[in-house]
Amino acid sequence: MEKVLRELLSGRLVAIVRGVGPGEIVDTARALAAGGIRALEITFDHTRADGTARTLESIRLLRERMDGELLLGAGTVLAPEEVDLAVEAGAEYIISPVTNPLVVRRTKELGKVSMPGAFTPTEAVEAHRCGADIVKLFPAALLGLDYFKALRGPLGHIRFSAVGGIDDKNAADFLRAGACCLGVGGTLVSLPAIRSGQYQLLTDAARRLCRAVSAAASGEG
């Protein structure tokens, strides 16, 4: 677990892969990896009857085809049973939009990295008390940079990731404000590009985002 956590914190970027089926997942992952992304969050799809099965198949495929190339995590994990399924499929970290103590507890019991979501200071502290390794502030861009800075004032002992509305234009700002890492979805993992087979667009978007992160680390911009 500590190795995975260190790699997440050093990479500082997690691509949120939502709505991408098993038939497209490997090409999607390869395109993102070509642009510099090393961590993927494959989200559970709770909108369709076969959503759980498709999510788990995608994680298994990536574990088989790209083992050692990527840090694989599961997202939108809402129940401890989903933690078990995701870890069995190959997930090394568990991400949720909310803080469910049972999900956090089960994740830690299995020796995996826990990243539950929070919106308020109370939720953030509760997530941290439950054992979260990183607290995901969501939706970060909607709350705004000033909110993020204000939250970290009294809660500087908590690692926060910024998720929701993050792109190459505001990524550096959130990192400079103290985000330990960022979760980036639609602005990076374009479903229209995937559906049309234009995977180079994902690689290009990944490169822009990685440049923004590098600029923040070097103090540029």
**What positions carry a catalytic annotation?**
41, 136
Half-sphere exposure of 92 (CA within 13 A, CB side): 19
Distances (CA, A) of 206 to 48, 99, 120, 133: 29, 29, 30, 25
| Token output for 60 | 């298994």
Q: In what order do the strands lie in the sheet with 117-118?
A: 113-115, 93-95, 71-75, 39-43, 13-17, 181-184, 160-163, 135-137, 117-118
Cis peptide before 139 (omega within 30 of 0): yes
10 Å Cβ neighbour count for 187?
A: 17
Q: By the 8 A CB rule, do 113 and 107 touch?
A: yes
d(CA 20, CA 111): 27
